[in-house]
Amino acid sequence: MQAWDSVVGHHQGLTNIMPVFRRDVKRLVTEPIYELHRNGIVHGMMVSYGNIVVATKAWNYLFSIVDWADDRAKQKVTDPDPFTWSGLVRSLQKNEAERQALESWEPGPSDSSDSRWAGDELVVAANEYLELWHRQNYGHLVQYLQLSARKRLGKGAPAELRRNYSDHPLSGFEVLSIDRRAPAIAVVHMRLLTSEREEVVEDRWIYEDEEGNPRVSGTGSGSWVRLFDGCPL
């Protein structure tokens, strides 16, 4: 089948067949038809449409719609940023800064015996996350979701967190220790208290930038967020 060797291959083809395609049919037609009358077929007013002519026209129209959709999709594709020497220099500087940060990275404090504990960025973030959970402030709790989760959940993120957390209201909490396994990954050990039980959990966190890319912690190039968006309990 050569779809384009037909009416749909002409730039005015679809425009000209629309009146036939959308023709109103107000009486029952039982004799065979050879035009694609959408309304008559869909509403059961034209019953003898099962032939190769009508089927071929239907496929041709479908091909033309696919071509139209592909063309619209291509129009939405934006060209990448044009190359500039200044952009290249900035990219190289950024890569070099990341390399140096990675080489000089040192794990932060692992527990409260370290004098840096209270002011550590991840300790502060974990305590704020638990405090928001304790206050059932699901709107602000969204900030501790990864960027990918925030995009996926969209405006429904607070409601999703409410569904996940509302059955586990906190009555108390404590950040016990942190296992810093890599420059951008850490496991936070937390004691969680509810009205029913007390449990120590391991919660994985990641240090990512505004675009959701992992970054070397301690460089100020990102923030700590939870690796998973479910409730730890």
Q: What are 58's two structure tokens?
A: 């239907």
- Verdict on whether the full-model pTM lies above 0.75: no
Per-residue pLDDT of 57-107, as tens digits, reads 888 888 777 777 777 777 666 555 666 777 766 776 777 888 888 889 999
- Measured distance CA(208)–CA(224) in Å, rounded: 7
What domains can you pick out in the chain, each with its CATH number? 7-76 (no CATH), 107-226 (3.10.450.50)
Bridge partners, 12 (sequence order): none
pLDDT at 5 over 90: no
Residue 40 · residue 25 · CB < 8 Å? yes
Question: Cβ of 62: how many Cβ atoms within 10 Å?
Answer: 12
Q: What are 44's two structure tokens?
A: 């059961």
- Measured distance CA(121)–CA(127) in Å, rounded: 10
Q: Stretch 48-65: mean pLDDT, rounded?
A: 86
Judged by average pLDDT, the poorest of 45-49, 113-117, 185-189 is: 45-49
Question: Cβ of 94: how many Cβ atoms within 10 Å?
Answer: 11
Position 51 scores a pLDDT of 92
